[in-house]
Amino acid sequence: MSARARGLSIVAVDTGGTFTDVVYLRAGRLSVLKLPSTPADPARAVLEGISRVLALKPASLAASPRRRVAASRIEAFVLIHGSTVATNALLERRGARVALVTNRGLEDVLEIGRQNRPQLYALVGRRPPPLVPAEDRHGIAGRLDPRGAELEPLDDAELERLPARVARAESIAVCLLHSYADPGHERRVGRALAGAGIPLSLSSELLPEYREYERMATTVANAYVAPRMDRYLARLEAESGAARVRVMGSGGGAVPVARARREAVHTILSGPAGGVMGGLEAARRAGFDHVITFDMGGTSTDVSLCPGRPLHTREFAVAGTPVAIPVVDIHTVGAGGGSIAHVDAGGALRVGPESAGADPGPVSYGRGGRDVTVTDAHVWLGRLPAHGFLGGERPLDRAAIEAPLRALAERLGTNLEAAAEGVLAVADTAMEGALRVISVERGHDPADFTLVAFGGAAPLHAAELADRLGLPRVLVPPDPGLLSAYGMLGSPVRKDAARTVLWPEERATPAALREVFVELERAAAAAMAEEGIPRRALRFRRAVDARYRGQSYELHVPATGWLEAFHRAHEARYGYARRDAAVEAVTLRVEATAPPPRVPATKLERAPKRAPPRQGTGGVVYEGRRMRATHFERRRLLGGHRIAGPAVVLEYSATTWLPPGWRAEVQESGALLLERAGRAASGRKRKKA
């Protein structure tokens, strides 16, 4: 049963490196809150945010979140959370001590990996060490063939001794060869280790697919982060007061907390996935469906291309560790509002990937920061007015920026304004590169897409990035700095099920496929039933991973008419199709989703005239020139209002910079549509609103 059907309210919380964002849906109305993250103890900011937002008076999107009233009655609520705990555990190498149990002779697969070279031009490449050192990798007797037939039995005496061999571990990963064909051996090993009382990850349960290296690496990654994630989520369950807790999954759907504690690897792209879902939904409400999402927060920028839908991939790695689970296809660079500017040994200006984070934060935050950041550059140049940050709740200290900015400028041999603009230009170049990776380098013309800018810093950079890439327009949704939390609020509960079959096309008959799909749907429905979601509420999507016989990798296509769909997909991706060649159905997949709660849509009143009310003006520097920019309060804007740059639009969660030559029009959906003045809007990818 859905939260809405039970009458429960919903709180969505997205934890970032700098801010923790909270959105509260109650009785069809929304309240929002931003507060600094607490990196040393992420749960503290989450729990504080929940406590504070429950005391907010439900208000429309445009209303100020500063008005707080005492809560006369706190109703039961569902918590949906986007967490960085699993991601940070991998990035910082601060996970559990893992024991890996595998077939004898395969102990080093994790270290051998694939014959790829991440540093293509390095004479001696460097790879991060495996998450499990050699002394914690244990081989045992027993082996299956690719069809699941037993070639060598397990040794009962060896299984009895196994708990003593892994006694020093904090978590255990079990990955046996070909367990996707028959999980029997892995289950017996799991039963032998069940008495150890520590988290246990079986590859046949987590990822029942072939390719032993990716399956092993994913299972190890899960075991590595699961204990930390388990403790974190257990605390949230105990202290949040939520009737039910869900975690945003990397695939774009919410995951029940019990599954997230057990299969923590599915939360590695938790927050960014929520942003993609929120960005696409905001664009659809404004009449666009072919978009590039641009999420710039405090520590990083995440971009994703959505040609009408989110794209997914299984070719994903975190800090050199492959994670072969379905994730929203997101490209990340270390450029955010808190990214630190410095001069390298060669005298070149660099920005990031080091970040000031939430503590101490940028210099202008007044919390002890000493290094100039992207945010500080915006403040110095007037594009982020010091009085407008967080709706005026937290004024910034512009004067504190002068000394560190002067030191940076002296090292560069230039003045303060040129140094600040240089910081922004370097950050823009990094983000431009990320946008090119997901568009131009994959054969897509950016002119066919709308750039959806969100996160606390993206609307400050979006117009200039659109100019660099030839994007025709930019869409800034309502409350852009909270959009990832909105995306979590409106995401379905999701469960993926898969099975590797390795069938030639003559064996992959409709009847044979249907039999496996029915079993996968039954398993997915059972998992959803544990969350209280009946089968009748589920939607199933069937798909096939297929390839030409002899190829190493597959293409993901719909199950209906999968053979012809594969030929078309291959031609679109690689420029040719071989319809006379043999095709294999490698892995069958089912995606089960339960519809999300209905999130109220903004519909602004039409303005009686096009000129919006002004808040005032402020000095800005743009391309070395000083000029006056008009300031506007977004909450006072109505549908049809038009703004000409240079202008700054102020709101609680973000600030939008409109350079000279750009204009913005307020949509009925509440979004700002930014276009280069005089440019006719292309309608090729625009739907009727």
Q: What is the mean pLDDT of residues 289-318?
A: 90
Q: What is the pLDDT of residues 479-531, one digit of tens each?
A: 999 999 999 988 888 999 999 999 999 999 999 999 999 999 999 999 898 87
Report pLDDT for 75: 61
Using alpha carbons only, give the angle 631, 637, 639 rounded to the nearest 5 degrees.
140
| Co-location of 106 and 85 in the same domain | no
Q: What is the mean pLDDT of residues 332-338?
A: 87
Three-state secondary structure call for residue 342? strand
Rounded distance between C-alpha atoms, residue 399 and residue 418, angstroms: 17
Residue 287: inside a domain, yes or no? no
State both tokens at 103: 């077939």
Q: What is the pLDDT of residues 263-280, one digit of tens each?
A: 999 998 888 999 999 999
Specify the higher pLDDT residue, 39 or 617: 617
Q: What is the mean pLDDT of residues 78-88?
A: 89
Specify the higher pLDDT residue, 600 or 577: 577
| Co-location of 163 and 76 in the same domain | no
Residue 348: inside a domain, yes or no? no
| Mean pLDDT for the chain overall | 88
| Co-location of 499 and 569 in the same domain | yes
| Co-location of 17 and 112 in the same domain | no
Report pLDDT for 689: 31
Residue 67 has pLDDT above 70, yes or no: no
Residue ranges making up the domain that contains 509: 493-594
Q: List CB contacts of 174: < 8 A, sequence separation 6 or more.
A: 100, 101, 102, 186, 189, 190, 193, 200, 201, 202, 203, 219
Residue 468: inside a domain, yes or no? no
| Co-location of 263 and 186 in the same domain | no
| Co-location of 245 and 181 in the same domain | no
Q: What is the pLDDT of residues 390-449, one digit of tens each?
A: 777 778 999 999 999 999 999 999 999 999 999 999 999 999 999 999 999 888 999 999
Q: How far is CA 268 from CA 172, 330, 393, in A?
A: 19, 12, 32
| Co-location of 122 and 243 in the same domain | no
Rounded distance between C-alpha atoms, residue 29 and residue 540, angstroms: 30
Residue 296: inside a domain, yes or no? no
Rounded distance between C-alpha atoms, residue 213 and residue 222, angstroms: 14
Residue 378 has pLDDT above 80, yes or no: yes
Rounded distance between C-alpha atoms, residue 540 and residue 616, angstroms: 53
| Co-location of 118 and 222 in the same domain | yes
Residue 169: inside a domain, yes or no? yes
Q: What is the mean pLDDT of residues 571-595?
A: 92
Per residue, the 3-state secondary structure of 219-278, as one string, reads HHHHHHHHHHHHHHHHHHHHHCCCCEEEEECCCCCEEEHHHHHHCHHHHCCHHHHHHHHH
Q: What is the pLDDT of residues 205-221, one digit of tens each?
A: 999 998 899 999 999 99
| Co-location of 37 and 158 in the same domain | no
Best CA proximity match to 485, nearest among 16, 45, 39? 16
| Co-location of 144 and 244 in the same domain | no
Final residue of a structural domain among 183, 213, 230: 230
Residue 103: inside a domain, yes or no? yes
Residue 601: inside a domain, yes or no? no
The total number of structural domains that make up the chain: 3
Q: Are strands 77-82 and 9-15 parallel, antiparallel or unpaired?
A: parallel
Best CA proximity match to 334, nearest among 363, 357, 365, 314? 357
| Co-location of 51 and 106 in the same domain | no
| Co-location of 126 and 256 in the same domain | no
Residue 17: inside a domain, yes or no? yes
Report pLDDT for 684: 42
Report pLDDT for 326: 87
The answer to whether 75 and 8 are in contact (CB under 8 A) is yes
Residue 230 has pLDDT above 70, yes or no: yes
Residue 388 has pLDDT above 90, yes or no: no
Residue 302 has pLDDT above 50, yes or no: yes
DSSP state letters, 525-583: HHHHHTTT--GGG-EEEEEEEEEETT-SS-EEEESTTHHHHHHHHHHHHHS---TTS-E
